[in-house]
């Protein structure tokens, strides 16, 4: 492996590790989930905006493309909101496993968007995923609200992924991320303000809240997103997709180290989690094999 690839792998896993740590960080904070998203997204938007201004990224992008990217960002804002809310009402482990369902939702939704038939393998993996979710619900019934919110966050993440894939490729990835952060900030700010005009959900009460906000905004968003984009441009899509599943693994290990017994789940939960995450990994592997097969057939 070349030194360049070593750095790309390191950057990819540092980004994923920071996302795994994001859940633990939010659990330690007293700030409302909506407030966490608002602070995280606006800090990232400002940092990325400064970078885009200095490098003149995003110059000449149409208003229509900007509006589409902001709308796409609204999806990641709702996803984060759901993720942090699931953690607050259950555990980090449950929230991480549930949002790992996103690729399965992508596999089920994309054929509808692109008007293509579902593959038999996707139907089978979808059934296994649903069975895994059912097992988790059965064994962790007291955390059913957290599981439901986490799965909703995973479904929203799938919509975000599909919308992002349809963004014009000529637009700078850094500028795209900046627009996404603006969209995330706007949607959560508007909804939360309408629900609670007092804006108490923005309160930062402890030192951990302030440190957490900076960590989530700078490290987990601005820096991690940049590292991820740089890395996946040099590595295969399969490597990136498969590696993303480690977010749940990294996060669960960190959560167990920080919170101890409160993060211990029943054996049934882990069986369901393995079925769900295993389906995601299997789908990534099958997609990679099908892509390689198609390339070979085109070359023949």
Q: Could you report the average pLDDT of every consecutive run of 10 residues in the chain (300 residues)? A: 70 88 94 96 93 84 93 95 95 88 80 77 78 81 89 91 84 89 96 95 95 94 80 64 76 89 81 81 72 62
Q: The pTM is what? A: 0.85
| pLDDT tens column, 59-78 | 888 999 999 999 999 999 99
SS3 (DSSP) at 166: coil
Ramachandran quadrant class, 266 (left: phi over 0; alpha: psi -120 to 50; beta: rest): beta
Q: Please, are residues 92 and 263 in contact by the beta-carbon 8 Å criterion?
A: yes
pLDDT of residue 84: 96
Ramachandran quadrant class, 74 (left: phi over 0; alpha: psi -120 to 50; beta: rest): alpha
CA distance 236 to 227: 15
DSSP line for 247-298: HHHHHHHHHHHHHGGGG---HHHHHHHHHHHHHHHHHHHHHHHHHHHHHHHH
| pLDDT tens column, 89-120 | 999 988 988 888 887 788 778 788 877 777 77
């Amino acid at each position: 492996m070349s030194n360049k690839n070593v750095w790309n792998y390191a950057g990819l896993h540092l980004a994923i590790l920071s996302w795994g740590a994001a859940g633990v960080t939010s659990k330690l904070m007293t700030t409302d989930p909506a407030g966490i998203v608002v602070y995280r997204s606006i800090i990232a938007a400002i940092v990325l905006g400064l970078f885009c201004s200095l490098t003149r990224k995003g110059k000449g992008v149409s208003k229509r493309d900007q509006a589409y990217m902001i709308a796409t960002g609204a999806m990641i804002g709702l996803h984060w909101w759901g993720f942090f809310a699931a953690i607050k009402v259950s555990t980090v482990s449950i929230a991480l496993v549930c949002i790992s369902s996103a690729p399965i939702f992508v596999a089920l939704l994309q054929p509808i968007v692109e008007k293509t038939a579902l593959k038999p393998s996707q139907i089978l993996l979808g059934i296994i995923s649903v069975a895994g979710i059912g097992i988790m619900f059965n064994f962790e019934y007291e955390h059913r609200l957290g599981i439901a919110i986490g799965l909703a966050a995973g479904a929203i993440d799938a919509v975000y992924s599909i919308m992002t894939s349809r963004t014009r490729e000529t637009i700078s990835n850094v500028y795209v991320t900046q627009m996404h952060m603006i969209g995330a900030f706007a949607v959560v700010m508007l909804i939360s303000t309408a629900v609670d005009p007092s804006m108490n959900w923005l309160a930062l009460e402890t030192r951990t809240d302030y440190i957490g906000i900076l960590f989530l905004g700078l490290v987990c968003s601005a820096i991690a997103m940049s590292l991820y984009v740089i890395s996946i441009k040099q590595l295969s899509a399969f490597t990136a997709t498969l590696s993303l599943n480690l977010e749940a693994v990294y996060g669960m290990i960190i959560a167990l180290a920080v919170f101890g017994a409160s993060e211990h789940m029943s054996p049934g939960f882990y069986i369901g989690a393995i079925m769900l995450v295993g389906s995601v990994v299997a789908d990534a592997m099958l997609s990679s094999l099908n892509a390689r097969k198609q390339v070979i057939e085109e070359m023949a």
